[in-house]
Amino acid sequence: MIKKRVTIIFLLGLTAVALYFCYVIAEPFMKPIITAAVIAIIFYPVHARLHKAVRSPSGAALLSTVTVILIIVIPAIALVHAIAGDLRDAYESLSLRSAAGGGWTAYLAHLTDAPLAWIGRHVNFSGFDLRADLRSRLEQASAGLLGEAGGVAGNLASFLVNAAITFFALFFLFREGKAIRRQTAAILPLDPARTERLLSVVSDAVVANVHGVLAVGAAQGTLAGAAFWALGLPSPILWGAVTALCSLVPVVGSGIVWAPASLILLISGHWVKALVMLGWGGGVVSVADHIIRPFVVRGRVKMNTLFLVFALLGGVEAFGILGLFIGPMVFSITLALFSMLREEGRAWHLSWDEPKPAPPSEGATT
């Protein structure tokens, strides 16, 4: 018995060391792998249908991976092309106006004359030169943008490498998905019902958050597009779609669209419309995320709303965009584990409370 215990302890220690080194090796690729796992769960019904038509596991996995790439890449290219065209037109229009006004800094400073004069009538700014401060900040912002432009190529290369790893892992998850699920179930020291329960919790959390992402994107895109249309900005449908896509971005989210739109309106001299866009974006479009997402996700993930909000916010803080899926998934797994522990505790108490068989009397014969 002592030798067996020593063997088990040695194996557990060796396994812990091996798992640590596995983590060190896999850590640089964790985000692409997790992204691939999320995509595999989302598109598994599509893969299952394709697998029925294509009997070869490798062929079906390849076809499913190519399908996912086309679903993601083609709309993204079309969207980027349309955005680039609109931004180019807006830049050319503003460049012509700024050239007539003596350059960007002088043009922007001139545009702020009316708002600053109105503010100056109500607030005493004596001893503080707002125009000089604005000019200084604009020059700092221009220098910062030029500095950031140098890192775009490096970020693009990193993105392409991560995308390649993601789709490479996705192919094997599609091909080996069932085998990985069986191996996971075999490793876990749980009965089949509880193993299936844990795996279902993961799947439900991912699918629920996909529904939440789609609902938030649709709501924010519609609200932003309506604002663009009402304020007379070009391409409201396009920028509504861009807002829906940007709703995925942590922290800033839809602000990537409505904040620059407010700035463009201000630069164009429409500062009342700029304030309307700023108030609508910050007070309505952005707030929709905090109302709609928990409502939609809670329908499938059985979790307290407060826990769900913290799971979403904390997940985004820790993992970025992936945190929208990882945060609720971790909380759901934790709650499921607590539920299983409670069930085990009840079973343990029941086993102790059961009446023990009476010992045989001294005179009883066998």
Q: Is the pTM of this model over 0.75?
A: no
Tokens for 17, please give them: 């060391």
What's the DSSP call for residue 103?
A: S
Q: Give pLDDT tens digits for 22-49.
A: 888 888 888 888 888 888 888 888 888 8
Q: Hey, how many other C-beta atoms are within 10 angstroms of the C-beta on 85?
A: 12
SS3 content of the chain, % helix, strand, coil (to 5): 85, 0, 15
Q: Give pLDDT tens digits for 238-247.
A: 888 888 888 8
- Higher-pLDDT residue of 200 and 108 is 200
Contact 174, 47 (CB under 8 A): yes
Length of the chain: 366
pLDDT band of residue 211 (cuts 50, 70, 90) is: confident
Rounded CA-CA distance 200/181 in Å is 11
DSSP state string for 125-168: -TT--HHHHHHHHHHHHHHHHHHHHTTHHHHHHHHHHHHHHHHH
Q: Which of 107-121, 256-270, 336-350 has the lowest mean pLDDT?
A: 107-121
Q: What is the mean pLDDT of residues 277-290?
A: 84
* Closest to 35 in 3D by CA, of 155, 202, 167: 167
Model pLDDT, residue 66: 92
Rounded CA-CA distance 159/76 in Å is 14
Model pLDDT, residue 85: 72
Average pLDDT over the chain reads 76
- Higher-pLDDT residue of 362 and 55 is 55
Model pLDDT, residue 366: 45
Q: Give pLDDT tens digits for 319-350.
A: 777 777 788 888 888 888 888 778 777 766 66
Q: What is the mean pLDDT of residues 120-133?
A: 57
Tokens for 172, please give them: 């094997």
* Direct distance between the N- and C-terminal alpha carbons of the chain, in angstroms, rounded to an integer: 33
